[in-house]
Amino acid sequence: MVVVRLPAEVLARASSSADLAALDAGIVDCFACPRLVAWREEVAATKRAAFRDQVYWGRPVPGFGPADARIAILGLAPAAHGGNRTGRIFTGDRSGDVLFAALHRAGLANQPTSVAADDGLALHDLRIFASVRCAPPDNKPTPIERDTCAPWLWRELELIKPTVRVVVALGAFAWAAWWPAMSRVYGGTPPSPRPAFGHGAHWTSPDGGYPHLLGCYHVSQQNTFTGRLTPTMLDEVFARAKELARGA
C-alpha cells in the first residue's frame, strides 16, 4: 500500500494509475488534505446515532460504474453519513435515494435504491464520481482542497475519455470544476465567458471535440424537500443525457 500524503504525490499517483482499479486504490489511500482527513475520521468515530452500530468507511470515496460508460455524473463530494459511511458515492443518504430512483427510472441503474456497497446495485452506461473525494465539513471544501484533489478527477476523466459523451454536473460546484478538468484532459481553452450554471443548462463545443455538459440542480435535501428539484426535472435531465449519448 502506497499512502498519498502530499499534493505532489496526488498528481504523481493519479497520473501513473494505469486503469480505474489502480486509480481507485490510490484515491482510498489519500491523506493529502489534513482538514478533510481529520473530519472524515472524526465523523467515522463519533457516528450518527442511527448508525452507531455500523463501521464507517471514513476514507476518500472512489468513483462507481463501468469503465466504458457514455454518461458521467460529476458531483461535489461524499456526504459525511452517506458515502463517508458506506464507502460508495451517493449511497446511504437521502440524496442517493432521490438520485438512484431517477437513474432506475431512466434505465441507468438496475435497482432504485443504494443503501450499502454490497447491495447489488449496478449502473448501466454510467459512471458517477465527485470533484472532491473526501467528505468536507458543511459540504464546503476549500479552494486548496479542491485543487489538491483535482488530479484524481483528471485521471478518471482520462481513463473514461474514449467512451464518455455526456457529463451531468450536479450543482454549481461540479459545473465550475468541469472547465479546468476539461481543459486539462481534452486540451484547448474553456469558453469565455464560461456558460452559467442552471438546471437544464447545456453546453456543447462547436467542433464536437468535448463531451456535452448538462447542468442539474444537486440532489440535496435542500433542493428536493423544497421542490426546487422534482423527480420530473431529474427525469428530463437523464432522458436528455441518454439522447445525447446516443448521438441524437
Residue of 181, 62, 57, 175 lying closest to 116 (CA atoms): 57
Residue of 108, 110, 78, 71 lying closest to 96 (CA atoms): 78
- Residues paired with residue 213 on neighbouring β-strands, in sequence order: 167, 203
Residue 221 and residue 228 in contact, taking contact as beta carbons nearer than 8 Å: no
**What string of pLDDT tens digits covers the 248 residues of the chain?**
789 999 999 999 999 999 999 999 999 999 999 999 999 999 999 999 999 999 999 999 999 999 999 999 999 999 999 999 999 999 999 999 999 999 999 999 999 999 999 999 999 999 999 999 999 999 999 999 999 999 999 999 999 999 999 999 999 999 999 999 999 999 988 898 999 999 999 999 988 899 999 999 999 999 999 999 999 999 999 999 999 999 85
Residue 144 and residue 120 in contact, taking contact as beta carbons nearer than 8 Å: no
**pLDDT given for residue 248 in this prediction:** 57
Task: Report the C-alpha gap between 34 and 38 in whole angstroms.
Answer: 6
Give the position of cell 463517508.
Answer: 84
Write down the pTM of the prediction.
Answer: 0.96
Residue 159 and residue 72 in contact, taking contact as beta carbons nearer than 8 Å: no
Q: What are phi and psi of 128, to 5 degrees?
A: -120, 135
Contacts of 217 (CB under 8 A, 6+ apart): 170, 171, 199, 223, 228, 229, 233
**pLDDT given for residue 189 in this prediction:** 87
Residue 36 and residue 152 in contact, taking contact as beta carbons nearer than 8 Å: no
Task: Report the C-alpha gap between 146 and 36 in whole angstroms.
Answer: 11
What's the DSSP call for residue 197?
P
**pLDDT given for residue 45 in this prediction:** 98
Cα 156 to its chain centre, rounded Å, is 10
Q: Inter-axis angle of helices 143-160 and 7-15, to 10 degrees?
A: 10
